[in-house]
Amino acid sequence: MSLIATRDGFGDEIVALGKENKNIFVVDADIGKSCKSAAFAKALPEQHVNVGIAEQSAAGVAAGLATCGIIPFVVTYAAFGSMRMVEMIRQEACYPNLNVKIACSHGGVTPANDGASHQCIEDMGILSTIPNMTVVMPADYQSARKLVRAAAEKYGPVYLRFTRDAVPEIYGPDEQFEIGKAKQLRDGRAAAIIANGDTVRLAVEAAQKLADEGVEVRVLDMHTVKPLDVDAVAAAVNDCGKIVTVEDHNIINGLGAAVACVAADMGKGQVKRIGIQDQFGMSAPYERLLAMNGITTENIVATVQALVKA
Amino acid sequence: MQNISVDELKSIANDLRIKAVDMIFKAQSGHPGGSLSAAEFVTACYFREMNIDPADPKWADRDRFVLSKGHVCPIQYAALATKGYFDVSVLDTLRKEGSILQGHPDMKKCPGIDISTGSLGQGFACGAGMALAGKRQGKDYRVFVVLGDGELDEGEIWEACNVCNKYELDNVVVFVDWNNLQIDGTCDEVMPLLDIGKKFEAFGFEVWNIDGNDMQQMVDTLDEIRDRKNGRPKCIVGKTVKGKGVSYMENVCSWHGTAPNEEQYKQAMMELKGAAV
């Protein structure tokens, strides 16, 4: 199984999209090389803008471009794309519902050795609370490519979250993805594990270990946090009852919170959230940062086992 | 560009002032001071300079107007209604439930609004994006941007200046409404702006320092700017009087965002109608 980062999926797909459609633009803020938009800048200079280290105007310029029929992808790190320019996204992209895409690498704690300033555990919660915004985090290279394309084809503001580190490929190139529709990777009735992004691979590994012990669980790749695939969550609540969510994001306002809201609305089921424990990170290896927050295959297995036994 | 005399423009500016104060009075809410100080630029743009079609507000080749200091929208709404984007009677609905005339401009609700604004410092970058789109798409429209002086406190303004310079957006015309008053006091008290013109020059703009309430100067400046396709963005720093045209509002900070009462309204109407040319 080959390893490749989701940011590379973005970088490859955005070039393909740009070549097909001259209205696809990239608005960089001086970290295009790291966010993998450099190939786009080179191949399609007339569709590329670099505003420098100035995220606020990146969002504003993108909104202005969007009013003229252009589909701009603002490219930066998640920390800056979700917080430094969040009010511009709210006022100039979401409020007027313009066709602006925010494509961020380095989501979660993947910028591990950079420390807490560059890690981003708040972004999907922040952006999910803004009306008109769609929030997506792909789990691997192929799904990143497909979801970038789906974001370009969907009218309206979309936040796409990619990560730095190479992760195993889960999907083949022919797999189809729809924004707002979860992918079921495995079925079972003992419990359901709902994950997104880089943690999907952990969920898959945990499900295999559980299966080895005779516990069959459902695994959902919930790549879209908003609009949440409520039907898939409701089915998991009805079919499995017990749900474990996994995410490289604060457990407040992330995927787990969204899933728990569905169960609460139904008045059914039980949800355990695995994610960043409402604490800042530090410079440390990525796997260590995940482990500090219980985001490990072992903890997913243990959490499911405890739920199933309860 | 439309052929129209300076006297006619003065008369329209006065009429727009009347409409702005009238709608703010009827709403008992809104921002009269900055609406009145920006009247000459707004009038000159809508009634002389801009290439627009009120019957086709989304016309792709139109000139764009960005009211970055969105709170002074009454003066823009007055211009749009007078131009025929919507019926003049709609002005009476300002800030009321269900109105297309929101407290700050909403491009999805109001025809003729090219970008929603209201949070200061943000409109300019959007205008730069529109101008950049025009350059990349080979269109020759221009983008007219109104900035408040207090709004220059916002860092994003200067980020947008960088974009205009880098991408040689000579199709951007910025008007700085330098009335020297913001909410908590004078600009000098709240955050000194130093020489605004020199700042814009340092950011690569061609700058004109004028009396922003003098229609002749406004028209002459816009004439000079029109065909200067030299790669440099344009900035008009207009020294203006906040509350211009209503004596008790002029240069009084508290008229930034206060509606006149009945008596004040009558006096304002008397003064403005008396000033009609």
Considering the domain architecture, whether residues A54 and A110 belong to the same structural domain is answered as yes
Per-residue confidence (pLDDT) for residue B148, from 0 to 100? 97
Same domain (yes/no): A122, A201: no
- ipTM > 0.90? yes
Residue in chain A lying closest to B160 (CA): A57
For the record, the structure tokens of B6 come out as 């300076």
Q: Using an 8 Å Cβ cutoff, are A203 and A210 in contact? A: no
Name the packing angle between helices B6-27 and B262-274 (round to 10°).
Answer: 170
CA B208/CA B238 separation, integer angstroms = 8
Which among A168, A196, A230 is the end of a domain? Answer: A168
Structure tokens at B30: 């809104």
* Residue A22 Cα, gap to closest chain B Cα (Å): 10
Please report, rounded to a whole number, the percentage of residues in chain B having pLDDT higher than 90.
98
Q: Mean pLDDT for each 10-residue chunk of chain A (310 residues)?
A: 94 98 98 97 98 98 98 98 98 98 98 96 98 98 98 98 97 97 98 98 98 98 98 98 98 98 98 98 97 98 96
pLDDT band at B277 (very low <50, low <70, confident <90, very high): low
Q: Is the dihedral of CA A157, A290, A171, A209 positive or negative?
A: negative
Asked whether residue A173 is domain-assigned, the answer is: no
Strand partners, A246: A195, A274
Of A168, A194, A221, which closes a domain?
Answer: A168
| Rounded average pLDDT over B184-194 | 95
Angle between helices A200-212 and A297-309 (to 10 degrees): 50
B112: part of which helix (H) or strand (E)? none
* A195 and A149 share one domain: no
Residue B70: helix, strand or coil by DSSP? helix
Long-range contacts of A164-167 (CB under 8 A, 24+ apart): A164/A5, A164/A7, A164/A34, A164/A105, A164/A106, A164/A110, A164/A111, A165/A5, A165/A110, A165/A198, A165/A286, A166/A3, A166/A4, A166/A5, A167/A3, A167/A4, A167/A5, A167/A6, A167/A139, A167/A140, A167/A141, A167/A198, A167/A201
Q: B136 vs A46: CB contact, 8 Å cut-off?
A: yes
Confidence of residue B11 (pLDDT cuts 50, 70, 90): very high
* B12 interface with A at CB cutoff 8 Å: no
Flag whether residue A62 sits within 8 Å of chain B, measured between CB atoms. Answer: yes
Chain A residues with CB inside 8 Å of B126's CB?
A: 60-61, 63-64, 67, 92
- Pair type for strands A167-168 and A3-4: antiparallel
Q: Are residues A161 and A242 in the same domain?
A: no
> Residue A241 has what pLDDT?
97
Nearest CA among A157, A50, A150 for reference residue A102: A157
Q: Is A13 an annotated catalytic residue?
A: no
A87 in B contact zone (CB under 8 Å): yes
Using DSSP bridges, classify how beta strands A191-195 and A167-168 pair: parallel, antiparallel or unpaired. Answer: unpaired
Radius of gyration, CA atoms only, chain A: 19
A175 occurs within a structural domain = no
pLDDT surpasses 80 at B33: yes
Do residues A214 and A101 share a domain? no
Which of A147, A145, A161 minimizes the C-alpha distance to A79?
A161
- Shared-domain flag, residues A206 and A137: no
Q: Are residues A65 and A163 in the same domain?
A: yes
A95 touches chain B (CB under 8 A): yes
In a domain, A160, yes or no: yes
Q: What is the CATH number of the domain that holds A290?
A: 3.40.50.920
Question: A178: closest CA among A146, A221, A135, A140?
Answer: A146
Domain that holds residue A194: 183-309
The answer for residues whose C-beta is within 8 angstroms of residue B28's C-beta and 6 or more apart is B259
Q: Is residue A255 part of a domain?
A: yes
CATH number of B6-274: 3.40.50.970
Q: Is residue A264 part of a domain?
A: yes
Looking at every residue in chain B, the average pLDDT score rounds to: 97
In angstroms, the CA A216 to CA A232 distance is 17
pLDDT (mean) for B241-254: 96
Claim to verify: residue A100 and residue A32 sit in the same structural domain: yes
Q: Which of A164, A163, A168, A109 is nearest to A291 (CA)?
A: A109
Which residues 178-237 of A have a C-beta within 8 angstroms of B? none
pLDDT recorded at residue A46: 98
Residue window 45-84, chain B: list those with CB within 8 Å of chain A: 60, 64
d(CA B79, CA B97): 22
CB pairs under 8 A between A and B: 108
pLDDT reported for residue B166: 98
pTM, to two decimals:
0.97
Please check whether residue A57 touches B, CB under 8 A.
yes
pLDDT of residue A310: 85
Distance from CA of A91 to the nearest CA of B (A): 7
pLDDT above 80 (res B109)? yes
Residue A199 lies inside a defined structural domain of this protein: yes
Largest Cα span, chain A:
60
Q: How many domains does chain A have?
A: 2
Q: In chain B, what are the domain boundaries?
A: 6-274
Lowest mean pLDDT among A1-10, B121-130, B234-243: A1-10
Predicted confidence band of residue B275 (pLDDT cuts 50, 70, 90): confident
* Type of residue found at A14: I
Angle at the Cα of A46 from the Cα atoms of A100 and A10, rounded to 5 degrees: 50
